[in-house]
Chains A and B, each alone.
Chain A
Amino acid sequence: MAHLEFNPHTHTYIRHFEGKLTSALCTDLATAVAADIAAALAEDQNAKVAFDLAQVDYVVSAYLRICLLSAKQLPKGNFSIINCRPEVKKIFCIARFDNLFDIA
């Protein structure tokens, strides 16, 4: 749970990312994120998780895959992307993820 912060106002676990999310970073990230979400679900089986991308300006396809897997790991509608920069939001839309979860 070290990476997820719980926001009591929105009842959402938030994970912050920053910089360029490259393939090299994503190799370890995938396992860590899945473990974080599993831990959150252990505490609350209806846990909501949001990735805060305010400090992110580049994402590789491997990171998009992490988002996809995270959304699948959680109950439907409980995963979201928040604080996206427009240039990054566009990337999620090109991948057609706007149909899968909220991207704000």
Chain B
Amino acid sequence: MTPEQDQADAMMGKALLAAAEFNQFDQAATDRIVKAVFQAAFNARISLATMAAEETKLGVWQHKVIKNVVASLLVYNDICDETTVGVLAHDERLGITEIAQPLGPIFAITPMTNPTSTVIFKILICLKSRNPLIISPHRRAAKCSGETARICYEAALAAGAPEDCVQFLAGGSRELTHAFMAHPSLALILATGGTGLVTAAYSSGTPAIGVGPGNVPVLIDPSADLPFAVESIISSKTFDNGTVCASEQAVVVERAIHAAARAEFERQHCYFANPAEIKKLEAVAIDPKTGGMHADIVGQSAMEIGRRAGVQLPPDTVIIMLPLDKVGPDEPLSGEVLAPLLAFYVEEHYAAACNRCISLNYRGGVGHTAAIYANDDARIREFGDLMNSGRVVVNTPSSQGGVGGLFNTLRTSFTLGCGSGGKNSTTENISARHLLNIKKVCRRRPNAEWNAFDQSKFLDATLDADTLCAQYTKNF
């Protein structure tokens, strides 16, 4: 046994005891705990946001307050009336009763970009489903994440939650993280983080719901309300300096409206970089070792990025627009950058614009999120069919739209399922319901066609499918 395995064993042992005790809680006791945690997190929304901004040195503290409000108030409102204990549903005609069973201990990996809000969110959905969790924060957000966990845990305990239902893993090494992820008593990994970490979670042998990168294309159709679309995109891309993985990464417009679109972006304080400036920006935004975004650029303001790149910007610049004509490794800025840098593509016609969005979608963002601004139902439907993304948000800021609950009726979540493209088992916004094993008690409801049919006919090799099926369904 290594020291890492010893530590994982000790904490997992506590988590198992908490899981065992939690299993006896009824819905009312569970809901009391969840409400207490929501209230405590909500009350601490400002102090936790400022702590997160100071520690991580990224984002905008006021926006982090909003994230904490979404993670506490909106998530709570979304789950508070949901049944997660005992019988979930009963259908007398089908003879099926669904009964909830908690999964067991969950290992919750939380990111640097949304540290306190993701901790609040994961604690709420785990406790609502009566699962204990062990939180493993990003090392650059350990302090604010730990404080969030402490506040929530103390509130949960005061409301009667089992001891050790929330545990916090501070300063864990890669070996320790792996010891947890591969622990035989672990039920699920809820991984929000970088590609490497999410891949490690999937490789651990433990079931995992992981959320990796997005690369959100946004199509502005000629039928769109252009000033509205631009304002909406800016409000999304500048939210917490672009740290939300569902934030727009590239705007795609048809040539017919590109001048108007560009003028509107400029009117609303976006700066269009020239090719030489794009090269300078690439040098600070892209890590040459990985070809992906540089960690130091995440969550910085447009002005700060311009300063670092040596690009002179108008003083009120909110987003730096990057006119590009390629997508792929040869054009690193066509990938995800969680900062107010926004690629801008001009295409000759609608089909070419859709093709560009597909290329962007498949450049590291498969299964995540796509966006369209349009007032043409046919195009909205077609775009939705073309994109390989769990969410296609319409006339909506994608950062806030992907998270749900603010601009649409998606479930409010800080863990966005990305389907098979993102190596997920679901495209849904993850919530408490995904943290339950749902057992089905199946009463006898005989299949009338099967029982009326002479099953010896299946043994007759001369009867083909058409013949057998005709007889099988005869008189039904």
On A, residues with C-beta under 8 Å from B are 23, 58-62, 64-65, 87, 90-92, 94-96
CB-defined contacts of B18 to chain A, threshold 8 Å: 61
CB-defined contacts of B16 to chain A, threshold 8 Å: 94-96
CB-defined contacts of A58 to chain B, threshold 8 Å: 24
CB–CB B21/A64 < 8 A: yes
Cα distance A23–B158 when bound, in Å? 13
| A33–chain B nearest beta-carbon distance, Å | 16
On B, residues with C-beta under 8 Å from A are 14, 16-21, 23-24, 104, 162-164, 185
Chain A CB within 10 A, most for which of B19, B24, B185: B24
Task: Tally the A-B contacts, defined by beta carbons under 8 Å.
Answer: 39
CB–CB B21/A91 < 8 A: yes
CB–CB B24/A61 < 8 A: no
CB–CB B20/A64 < 8 A: yes
CB-defined contacts of A91 to chain B, threshold 8 Å: 20-21, 23-24
CB–CB A65/B17 < 8 A: yes
CB–CB A94/B163 < 8 A: no
CB–CB A62/B163 < 8 A: yes
CB–CB B21/A59 < 8 A: yes
| B424–chain A nearest beta-carbon distance, Å | 27
CB–CB B23/A61 < 8 A: no
| A69–chain B nearest beta-carbon distance, Å | 12
Contacts A58-B24, A61-B20, A64-B21 given; indicate if A94 touches B162 (C-beta within 8 A): no
CB–CB B164/A94 < 8 A: no
Q: Name 13 A/B residue pairs within 8 A (Cβ), A-sorted.
A: A23-B163, A58-B24, A59-B21, A61-B20, A65-B17, A87-B24, A90-B23, A91-B20, A92-B20, A94-B23, A94-B104, A95-B16, A96-B16
CB-defined contacts of B164 to chain A, threshold 8 Å: 61
| A27–chain B nearest beta-carbon distance, Å | 12
Partner of A61, one of B104, B162, B185: B162
| B102–chain A nearest beta-carbon distance, Å | 8
Cα distance A37–B17 when bound, in Å? 22
Cα distance A62–B20 when bound, in Å? 11
- With A65-B17, A94-B20 already in contact, 18 other A-B pairs whose C-beta atoms are closer than 8 Å: A23-B163, A58-B24, A60-B162, A61-B14, A61-B20, A61-B21, A61-B162, A61-B163, A62-B163, A64-B20, A64-B21, A90-B23, A91-B23, A94-B104, A95-B16, A95-B17, A95-B19, A96-B16
CB-defined contacts of A65 to chain B, threshold 8 Å: 17
| B32–chain A nearest beta-carbon distance, Å | 16
Cα distance A34–B394 when bound, in Å? 64
